[in-house]
Chains A and B, each alone.
Chain A
Amino acid sequence: MDVWISIILSICAASTPLLLAATGELVVERSGVLNLGVEGMMIMGAVAGFATAQVTGNPYLGALVAMGAGALFSLLFAFLTLTLVANQVATGLALTILGIGLSGMIGEGFVGRPGIRMEALDIPILTDLPIIGKLIFGQDLIFYISIALVFGVYWFLFKTRAGLTLRSVGDNHTSAHALGINVIKVRYLAVLFGGACAGLAGAHLSLVYVPQWVEGMTAGRGWIALALVVFASWRPGRVLVGAYLFGTVTIGQFHAQAIGIAIPAQFLTSLPYIATIVVLVLIARNRRMTMLNTPASLGQSFVPDR
């Protein structure tokens, strides 16, 4: 039994950063902005969180600063694409490259230092409960935030007026503008939110997952988060499913290898990506559903006419 609990905990750890970053990006894309800089914002969060925890000794402060760093970095993207109307795809790619380089420079003095781990929750009695104790009451704070975030985002997007406004901006920015909605402001806020989420995802990597800082430690997770948003056809619940599916396959294939199941290792390591592609294909078959959920103004720049 302990083995299974341990496996499930590994899956949670592997899925949490993907879930956080993908949920943030989902809100951004719902507002009609395509920010390909997730990887860059994530790694900025990772370095900022790690550095803060090292200097102050407080990993929670580190997570907070990581969110700030992610948001601040996304502000650069927002300014370029929303105010200066630069191409979103190119700017997003540039943001990723800049983030990887800049984080390496900022983090140079922190390489090779063991990090400070954000400890898992330990509530007397509750955490010691058999089976569910460790799963429900014994994980790190960021895990709980990630789960709460998905439900929070769902509630916001589909149950509140502000959420409706955000979706309308994403679906048809001209009409939204005509109705008196400040399109640029809504998009700024969405991009900042996405940046903060990516920053927190980075903090999870450098404070919980592997408490250390090394250049390039996000190793492409930002791109997977981006794929998950499409995979989920812009629905928060499906992001949750997608992130955990990816996490499960990632962890599961290592166990399959360790048990010695006679499947080529190369195939097993590519399984998470194959699973993503298969689901993408299945989703794409249902055109109506895809059309219904895709923000119609996604990736299009908006210039308010006076």
Chain B
Amino acid sequence: MKKTLFALAASAAVMLSAGAAQADGHAKTKACFIYIGPTGDFGWTYQHDEGRKAVEAEFGDKVETAFLENVPESAEAQRPIEAFARSGCNIIFTTSFNYMDPTNKAAAKHPDVKFEHATGYKREHPNVSTYSSKFYQGRYVQGQIAAKMSKTGVAGYIASFPIPEVVRGINSFILGAQSVNPDFKLKVVWVSTWFDPPKEADAAKALIDQGVDILTQHTDSTAAMQVAAERGIKAFGQASDMIKFGPKTQLTAIIDDWAPYYKERVKAVIDGTWKQQDVWHGMDHGSVAMAPYTNMPDDVAAMAKKTEESIRDGSFEPFTGPVTKQDGTVWLKDGEKADIGTMLGMNFYVKGVDDKLPK
């Protein structure tokens, strides 16, 4: 019910802006964005919108941007995406996994419009590209810091849904931690939501009561950071710099920086050089960045910086053997690197995770 109304209102808004766009005869390049949440979520959608603003700042009068918030991840998404395509958008970024099919369907009907789908894998038409970021690289750095900073030797992980993206983060975190302390343990709590501040706070409290003294999360709000601050333990921010919510608490945060990619792709449209591609950028492209290392001794910060640097310049990759799976079987032999297929479909834990992976 609610979602339908959102979609209806969304399409109406697009219709209105459509008239304005056509009036100036497509003189400008129009970049449009479809968001899953509100731009003020201070996490995922907020960062995408920062990318949109960066596009505006970079190209000034040459571009025009538009966005729609709270577009549901279902067939409902079809209408606003197509409305965008009809309204003169030259390039449309659809920024959540389940916009995959609607994006491809819209692409078939609008061959002149470029489509960019975040975190997906379907490119059924030449005008669809996919893109994502290697957030797990930042998790490895966090794991190392956690192992150095923890007194109890146990960290807590607030997880959303057991999809490969999240599992990859958990595994990367524990591998980082074990590189410092081989006996380090990780407790995982699943909250079955991306965004529910009180629930995230409950999970944080439960983990702290169970003896963890470092928190990290793969959910979108700043609630866990606040609980950590209240209880006097340390925590990592997620998707965005959350230092304001824990000035004495945040160690660092993984920041999703979409700006470089959005600028690159919009420029390609302006220059007429846009081509279909599938990219999975990491720290090397600046799409995964770390917030300043705070609330930790200098030697820990120095170690974190060194690891971050080695991942950025490509001399190190978190998923490098030897790695043992949770069930005790060998996944990667010494020096062996994980293949991309296993990475993208990761559905198992590595050794040291104190949890049973939900199927």
**Chain A interface (Cβ < 8 Å from any Cβ of B):** 3, 6-7, 10, 14, 17, 93, 96-97, 100, 104, 107-108, 111-114, 117, 205, 209-212, 214-217, 219-221, 250-251, 254-255, 257-260, 262, 264-266, 268-270
Cα separation A216 to B230 with both chains bound (whole Å): 23
Among A3, A211, A215, A266, point to the contact of B40 (Cβ < 8 A).
A215
Among A97, A265, A269, point to the contact of B2 (Cβ < 8 A).
A97
Give chain B interface residues in 22-49, CB to chain A under 8 Å.
37-38, 40-42
A257 pairs with B190, CB closer than 8 A: yes
Cα separation A268 to B356 with both chains bound (whole Å): 13
B287 proximal to A (CB < 8 A) = no
Nearest CB of chain A from residue B35's CB, rounded to whole Å:
12
A111 pairs with B244, CB closer than 8 A: no
Mask for B68-93, Cβ within 8 A of A = 1, else 0? 00000000000000000000000000
B244 pairs with A112, CB closer than 8 A: yes
Task: Identify 23 residue pairs between A and B in the complex whose beta-carbon atoms are under 8 Å apart, listed by A's number.
Answer: A100-B2, A104-B38, A107-B40, A108-B40, A112-B42, A114-B226, A210-B198, A210-B221, A211-B226, A219-B195, A220-B196, A254-B191, A254-B203, A254-B206, A255-B209, A255-B210, A258-B207, A264-B356, A265-B162, A265-B358, A266-B190, A266-B192, A269-B192
Q: Using Cβ atoms and an 8 Å threshold, which residues of chain B touch A265?
A: 162, 189-190, 192, 358
Q: Using Cβ atoms and an 8 Å threshold, which residues of chain A touch B1?
A: 93, 97
A219 pairs with B245, CB closer than 8 A: no
Among A104, A209, A266, point to the contact of B198 (Cβ < 8 A).
A209
Cα separation A258 to B210 with both chains bound (whole Å): 7
Cα separation A100 to B9 with both chains bound (whole Å): 14
Q: Using Cβ atoms and an 8 Å threshold, which residues of chain B touch A254?
A: 189, 191, 202-203, 205-207
Chain B: which residue is nearest A264 at the CB level?
Answer: B358
Chain B: which residue is nearest A262 at the CB level?
Answer: B356
B197 pairs with A114, CB closer than 8 A: no
The size of the chain B interface, using a CB distance under 8 A, is 45
Cα separation A7 to B207 with both chains bound (whole Å): 11
Q: Known contacts A14-B202, A269-B192: does B223 contact A212 (CB below 8 Å)? A: yes
B340 proximal to A (CB < 8 A) = no
A216 pairs with B38, CB closer than 8 A: yes
Among A212, A216, A268, A269, point to the contact of B222 (Cβ < 8 A).
A212
> How many A-B Cβ pairs are below 8 Å?
127
Nearest CB of chain B from residue A94's CB, rounded to whole Å:
9
B156 pairs with A221, CB closer than 8 A: no
Give chain B interface residues in 107-166, CB to chain A under 8 Å.
156, 162
Q: Known contacts A111-B40, A112-B42, A219-B193: does B156 contact A258 (CB below 8 Å)? A: yes
Cα separation A303 to B162 with both chains bound (whole Å): 53
B198 pairs with A259, CB closer than 8 A: no
Q: Using Cβ atoms and an 8 Å threshold, which residues of chain B touch A7?
A: 206, 209
Q: Known contacts A214-B197, A254-B202, A257-B355: does B209 contact A6 (CB below 8 Å)? A: yes
Cα separation A104 to B196 with both chains bound (whole Å): 15
Nearest CB of chain A from residue B174's CB, rounded to whole Å:
14
Further contacts, 13 of them, CB under 8 A, given A255-B206, A258-B187, A258-B209? A97-B1, A111-B40, A112-B40, A114-B226, A205-B197, A210-B227, A217-B221, A219-B193, A254-B207, A265-B162, A265-B358, A266-B358, A268-B190
Among A10, A107, A117, point to the contact of B206 (Cβ < 8 A).
A10
B244 pairs with A113, CB closer than 8 A: yes
Query: In the complex, which of the residues A14, A220, A254, A262 has the most CB atoms of chain B within 10 Å of its own CB atom?
Result: A254
